[in-house]
């Protein structure tokens, strides 16, 4: 099972989920992290393996296939430290750059026994 967890209030995250769903509606399930967690990153659970932040984005793109997979391979050539710094710059400033929603548009379609993984 492939589950993407986002905070649900960021326009960037919501846009990502909408993009993924339009292109591969049955490939992923989606879940929200609690605002109490104060997470600054995307979490991707793929068959029990957990990816966070920039690694999660790379693996999501890779699993999409097609041009997204090629983009993932190109991005993986960038040194990890640079990719990580870029990811967290965007993450920390996501509400300023992309805006924030008061209500999450993402409906949880994950089974009730699949909670946000312990980090």
Tokens of 64: 């999409």
Instruction: Domain of residue 30: give its range.
Output: 2-98
Q: Please tell me the total count of domains within the chain.
A: 1
5 in Cβ contact with 108 (< 8 Å) = no
pLDDT in tens, the chain (119 residues): 899 988 777 888 888 888 888 888 889 988 877 655 567 788 999 998 999 999 999 999 999 999 999 999 999 999 999 999 999 999 889 889 888 877 666 665 554 445 556 55
Residue 14 lies in a domain: yes
Q: Please state, in angstroms and rounded to a whole number, the distance separating the CA atoms of residues 11 and 27.
A: 21
In a domain, residue 108? The reply is: no
Residue 106 located in a structural domain: no
């Amino acid at each position: 099972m492939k589950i993407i967890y986002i905070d649900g209030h960021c326009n960037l995250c919501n846009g990502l989920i909408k993009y993924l769903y339009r292109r591969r509606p049955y490939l992923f399930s989606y879940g929200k992290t609690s605002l109490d967690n104060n997470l600054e990153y995307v979490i991707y659970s793929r068959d029990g393996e957990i990816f966070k932040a920039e690694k999660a984005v790379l693996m999501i793109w890779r699993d999409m296939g097609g041009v997204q997979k090629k983009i993932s391979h190109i991005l993986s050539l960038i040194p990890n430290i640079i990719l990580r710094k870029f990811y967290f710059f965007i993450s920390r400033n996501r509400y300023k750059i992309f805006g924030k929603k008061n209500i999450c548009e993402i409906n949880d379609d994950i089974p009730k026994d699949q909670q946000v993984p312990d980090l």
